Structure 1
Amino acid sequence: MATLATYIAYEGVGSTKTAFEHYRDIFGGELKVLTYGDVPPMEGMPFTPDPNSVAHATLELPGGTIAGGDAMPGESYVVKDTVYSMLYTLDDVEEARGYIQKMVDGGGSINMPFEPAPWGGHYGQVFDKFGVMWSFDVGGTDQPQE
């Protein structure tokens, strides 16, 4: 069975673990974190990884998976941007509002208020405290027909 997951690289040793624990606190789900200290040394690595650095993490959420790892030493990634977002589609407006509020309470900021959308339903965006933009969508009964 094919699956699709989003993978995010966070800067700093252990930053992925911190981010994914934050997401688990907001959404729930099953978190798995594998550090370089948990795996045997890998031949051919272009660097010696910090044993506390996250090699791979996954958070299984209702409806999808988020995956990630700590960025390679010397590499810099711009996480905060509006060119991408994590789109979480839900069935309940209040559930979406609750997730958005948890993100704001956890240090995030609203990018677009969660309000009725021109295409029906509700839509809004929030940046979490790590700079990742989350879009929340709750479809309406008045969705455009093709």
Structure 2
Amino acid sequence: MSTSLATYISLPGQTAEAFEHWHEVFGGRLNLLRYGDVPMEGMPFEPDPQAVAHVTLSLPGGELAGGDATDSKDYPIRDTAYSLLYTVESPEAARDLIGKLISGGGSENMPFENAPWGGWYGQAFDRFGVMWAFSVDAGESGESGEAAG
């Protein structure tokens, strides 16, 4: 097994819905395992059999992983202290993904425009409150000048 780094996110009771939505938006390969699908012997708690034990969404360039939160704490999801940064090959690809997140119940946080450091950058919240940041490197965009909206 090679070394890798994946983003892991727990959404209380919404992990399956979120990952299925992200799969619709971004494509990739989705692998979802519920607690009812695994042996429960030796578990230190008794989870809902429909709760997500582990899920992965493999995308070009990386992987998202997650599971349902198994405690009753209320964790804040929507915040600007973190984001999932996705660097894509073109402004058109980024605009398409942002549009899918917004049309799926999300909202724009920062318009997708030319970035002061070169290239393109923008942000959107999905309907689950997760902030997605999109970037296109300066040499990759093939576009120059003002951002098209």
Do they superpose with TM above 0.5?
yes
Tell me the residue number matched to 1:26: 25
What is the CA distance between 1:116 and its match in structure 2?
Answer: 0.4
User: Can you give the 5+ residue segments of structure 1 that lack an aligned partner in the other structure?
Assistant: 142-146
TM-score scaled by length of structure 2: 0.90
Tell me the residue number matched to 1:123: 121
Tell me the residue number matched to 1:38: 37
TM-score scaled by length of structure 1: 0.92
Where do residues 97-112 of structure 1 align in structure 2 (5 Å cutoff)?
Answer: 97-112=95-110
Letter in 2 for 1:87: L
Number of aligned pairs?
Answer: 139
What is the CA distance between 1:91 and its match in structure 2?
Answer: 1.4
1:91-145 Cα distance to aligned partner (Å, 9 max, x none): 111000000000000000011000000000110000000000000000103xxxx
Distance in 2 separating the partners of 1:44 and 1:28: 33
What is the CA distance between 1:44 and its match in structure 2?
Answer: 4.6
1:84 aligns with 2:85: no
Distance in 1 separating the partners of 2:32 and 2:43: 23
User: Can you give the 5+ residue segments of structure 2 that lack an aligned partner in the other structure?
Assistant: 140-149
1:5-53 Cα distance to aligned partner (Å, 9 max, x none): 00000012xx1111001001001011000000000014151x2100000
CA RMSD of aligned residues (A): 1.2
Letter in 2 for 1:19: A
Letter in 1 for 2:52: V
Aligned partners of 1:34 and 1:55 also within 8 Å: yes
Distance in 2 separating the partners of 1:36 and 1:53: 6
Aligned partners of 1:55 and 1:69 also within 8 Å: yes
Distance in 1 separating the partners of 2:117 and 2:18: 32
Aligned partners of 1:9 and 1:77 also within 8 Å: no
Query: How much identity, in percent, do the aligned residues show?
Result: 57
Distance in 1 separating the partners of 2:122 and 2:88: 12
